[in-house]
Homo-oligomer: A and B are copies of this chain.
Amino acid sequence: MRAARDVFAERGYHAASIRDIAREAGLSLSALYYYYSGKQALLVALLEDTLADYQNSCEVALAAAGDDPAARLNAFVRATVEYRVRRQVDSLLALRETRNLEPDQLEGFVQRRDALPGLLQEIIEDGVACGLFATPYPDEAQRTVLAMCNAIAQWYQPSGDLTVTDLVDRYVHLSLTLVEYRLPGDR
């Protein structure tokens, strides 16, 4: 799977050859087929693993965050940003190669994947409902939060100046700004 991840990431699913993956993995072609039933199965395994990990990270973070919408938004953004950095390559694959899942797999996968935006949606709507978030456009705010977090995988360089801690702080700040967070009693 490591080999598949690297090769898929470098070339893209369709341009990647299963021979390249086998070579990268130090396996013979047939040995690879012994463990995975085919190219598609490798992709599925990668994406499922990535998604499960991400979902779990979010759940844990949200469970610890309690009920406050601001705290929950904070937790969600933190979990997402950290995930995009921690599993940067997998994040890219999830964004780019999901479309190459075959119809069977695709449906269920997308369904599960899209539960998370729904969660974020709820958080923001809660915040709006109780007056913490003043944004007039909760839908677009939610889309933007996701888009900006996802994009991290495309540009972040672990070797650069920006530490993950700082990155998280900044994205949390941006998110709260986006939803126009008003401190309670600040109205």
Contact = CB atoms under 8 A, between A and B. Distances in A.
Interface of A: 12-15, 96, 99-100, 135-137, 140-141, 143-144, 146-148, 150-151, 155, 170-171, 173-174, 177-178, 180
Given A147-B147, A148-B144, A150-B147, A170 B137 contact: yes
A152 to B, nearest CB: 8
A15 B101 CA distance: 12
A49 to B, nearest CB: 22
What is the oligomeric copy number?
A: 4
A12 B99 contact: yes
Nearest to A14: B14
Given A147-B148, A147-B150, A148-B143, A177 B135 contact: yes
A147 B174 CA distance: 13
Given A14-B15, A148-B147, A148-B148, A174 B178 contact: yes
B12 A170 contact: no
